């Protein structure tokens, strides 16, 4: 009897299918960062997007660790937990929604408590995507996936550059699939809803059966591109060496864990993907590269120069108590209470005030900073810009000229002086300044847009329209930004 029972058990284990390891071998870290103190308001999309992505990945057999509004220390711990789970052959996925900054040709995911004032601060407080993927690869992960929804204009870069650079291409190890929500070096605005367009399309395609991951992401890119009418074109990079599907059970993937008891599985016939919507009518090119080609069909007769429109003055916020609860300003103010001659804190608080529209308070801090450090070119440039916004154009011009005297070819000061001349109606001088800035940095969207306005006002409508179109392709918010400066 014992022998018969032993033989029976051997036969059972021999014919029983091995329990799949899809759930045990699939690990995901999902992060949604929305409450950045340096931003004007919390982002609407990242938390809802992170929760929905996490729920979908759980249904697809991933062990999911989700984090919301993570500080630098908490992000570090979350990545360490992910690294600790990975075994040779594991599948590892990262989803990040929040602010990202490009620095040194790498893309950094930014925690909510980052203190970024200069470019080196990005590398100190941010988390390099390349470094994270490299660490995952070193632990033996077979498939590595990164879905990054961080191509947003952020509050940090204005402090050390005049434009948001978007994200950089990633140099990833073999077996990696990376997708950004927008094209390289471009930024997009939140759509004002509770979910991003990128995540809406991503979840729609992940739920389509019988698709490999590359096809899922390619369909997502098509969906986002068409839904945004070419305003947002996601970027994909793949070096996958094996088939992988988000939904277990698709060809080339581990099956979903079966329920209790024997189940007869009949593979479903392949489903045709839903038809794509009809092609949209052609729009102006949205390439991230700045086009320098002349317009194809310029008007036969240039119209007379257009005078600069009269714009209402920008009303500055000039009450300190408006910002009593702002954590960054509170921190800097506390430093200044301890040391009123802390020029760096004065300058940084001035930057924060300016970013929040408190131009009079910003100028006062820049005044005090320059009193302590009369050769601070950054402070001269920032005071020039703040004075320009409130319409103190003569004083602004002196500041920009002094910044350029101290640092010739300072691109930010050329860009600021171009704005001074544009608001003053000196369109030829504005074009010259913007030209000089664009020779140094061809992707400076504020100079490109400003030059377009100056050319229009100088009578070169077609050339101006081309500059403005290219600037909007790189930064959809650029027209709104200039309107906030009193320039339409």
Residue 16 predicted with pLDDT over 80: no
Count other Cβ atoms within 10 Å, centred on residue 54. Answer: 21
Gap between the Cα atoms of 338 and 336, Å rounded: 5
SS3 416: helix
- The percentage of the chain sitting over the pLDDT mark of 90, rounded to a whole number, equals 55
Q: Rank 9-23, 86-100, 374-388, 467-481 by mean pLDDT and report only the highest.
A: 86-100
Residue 155 binned pLDDT confidence (cut-offs 50, 70, 90): confident
* Runs of H (alpha helix) within 339-410: 343-355, 359-372, 377-390, 393-406
pLDDT attached to residue 328: 79
Q: Are 363 and 387 in contact (CB under 8 A)?
A: yes
Residue 336 binned pLDDT confidence (cut-offs 50, 70, 90): very high
Query: What mean pLDDT value characterizes the chain?
Result: 82
Residue 136 binned pLDDT confidence (cut-offs 50, 70, 90): very high
Q: Are 30 and 95 in contact (CB under 8 A)?
A: yes
Sign of CA dihedral 199, 205, 209, 210: negative
pLDDT attached to residue 317: 54
pLDDT attached to residue 318: 55
End-to-end CA distance of the chain: 93
Delimiting residues of CATH 1.25.40.10 domain(s) in the chain: 320-484
Provide the token pair at 124.
């100190």
Q: Are 145 and 185 in contact (CB under 8 A)?
A: no
The residues pairing with 95 across neighbouring beta strands, listed in sequence order, are: 30, 147
CA 422 to chain centre: 29
pLDDT in tens, 229-257: 888 999 999 999 888 999 876 554 543 34
pLDDT in tens, 17-66: 333 334 449 999 999 999 998 887 899 999 999 999 999 999 999 999 99
CATH 1.25.40.10 for domain 320-484 = yes
How far CA 342 is from CA of 159, 222, 375, 406, in Å, comes to: 18, 52, 15, 22
Gap between the Cα atoms of 352 and 336, Å rounded: 15
Lowest pLDDT segment from 92-106, 249-263, 324-338, 371-385 = 249-263
Residue 214 predicted with pLDDT over 90: yes
Gap between the Cα atoms of 39 and 112, Å rounded: 10
User: Nearest to residue 388, comparing CAs of 321, 295, 485?
Assistant: 485
Delimiting residues of CATH 3.40.50.1460 domain(s) in the chain: 20-238
Gap between the Cα atoms of 428 and 460, Å rounded: 12
Provide the token pair at 281.
């009518």
pLDDT in tens, 367-422: 999 999 999 998 999 999 899 999 999 999 999 999 999 999 888 899 999 999 99
User: Nearest to residue 232, comparing CAs of 248, 221, 219, 218?
Assistant: 221
Residue 320 binned pLDDT confidence (cut-offs 50, 70, 90): low
pLDDT attached to residue 488: 84
- The percentage of the chain sitting over the pLDDT mark of 70, rounded to a whole number, equals 79
Sign of CA dihedral 202, 204, 205, 208: positive
Q: What is the DSSP letter of 385?
A: H
pLDDT attached to residue 341: 93
Do you know the residue count of the chain? Answer: 488
Residue 449 predicted with pLDDT over 60: yes
Q: What architecture is domain 20-238?
A: 3-Layer(aba) Sandwich (3.40)
């Amino acid at each position: 009897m014992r022998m018969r029972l032993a033989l029976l058990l051997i036969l059972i284990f021999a014919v029983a299918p091995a329990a799949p390891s899809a759930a045990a071998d699939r690990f995901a870290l999902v992060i949604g960062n929305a409450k950045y103190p340096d931003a004007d308001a919390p982002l609407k999309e990242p938390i809802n997007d992170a929760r929905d992505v996490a729920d979908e990945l759980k249904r697809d057999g991933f062990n999911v660790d989700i984090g919301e509004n993570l500080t630098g220390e908490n992000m570090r711990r979350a990545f360490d937990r992910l690294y600790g789970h990975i075994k040779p052959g594991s599948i590892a996925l990262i989803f990040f929604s929040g602010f990202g900054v490009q620095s040194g040709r790498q893309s950094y995911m930014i925690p909510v408590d980052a203190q970024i004032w200069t470019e080196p601060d990005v590398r100190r407080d941010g988390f390099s995507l390349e470094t994270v993927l490299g660490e995952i690869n070193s632990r033996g992960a077979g498939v590595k996936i990164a879905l990054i929804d961080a191509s947003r204009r952020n509050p940090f870069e204005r402090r050390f550059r005049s434009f948001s650079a978007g994200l950089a291409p990633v140099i990833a190890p073999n077996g990696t699939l990376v997708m950004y929500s927008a094209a390289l070096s471009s930024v997009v605005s939140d759509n004002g809803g509770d979910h991003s367009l990128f995540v809406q399309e991503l979840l729609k395609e992940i739920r389509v059966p019988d698709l490999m991951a590359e096809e899922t992401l390619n369909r997502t890119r098509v969906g986002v591109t068409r839904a945004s009418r070419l305003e947002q074109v996601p970027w994909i990079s793949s070096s996958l060496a094996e088939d992988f599907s988000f939904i277990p059970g698709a060809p080339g993937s581990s099956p979903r864990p079966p329920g209790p008891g024997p189940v007869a599985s009949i593979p479903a016939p392949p489903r045709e993907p839903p038809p794509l919507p009809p092609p949209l009518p052609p729009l102006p090119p949205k390439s991230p590269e700045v086009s320098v080609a002349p317009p194809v069909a310029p008007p036969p007769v240039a119209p007379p120069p257009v005078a600069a429109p009269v714009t209402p003055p920008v009303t500055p916020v000039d009450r300190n108590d408006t910002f009593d609860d702002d954590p960054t300003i509170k921190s800097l103010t506390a430093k200044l209470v301890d040391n009123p001659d802390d020029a760096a804190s004065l300058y940084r608080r001035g930057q924060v005030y300016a970013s929040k529209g408190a131009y009079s308070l910003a100028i006062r801090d820049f005044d005090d900073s320059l009193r302590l450090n009369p050769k601070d070119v950054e402070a001269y440039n920032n005071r020039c810009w703040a004075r320009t916004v409130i319409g103190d154009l003569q004083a602004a011009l002196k500041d920009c000229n002094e910044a350029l005297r101290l640092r010739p070819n300072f691109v930010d000061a050329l860009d600021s002086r171009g704005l001074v001349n544009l608001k003053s109606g000196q369109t030829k001088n504005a074009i010259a300044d913007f030209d000089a800035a664009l020779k140094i940095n061809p992707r400076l969207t504020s100079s490109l847009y400003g030059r377009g306005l100056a050319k229009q006002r100088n009578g070169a409508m077609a050339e101006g329209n081309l500059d403005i179109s290219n600037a909007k392709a790189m930064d959809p918010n650029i027209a709104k930004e200039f309107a906030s400066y009193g320039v339409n």
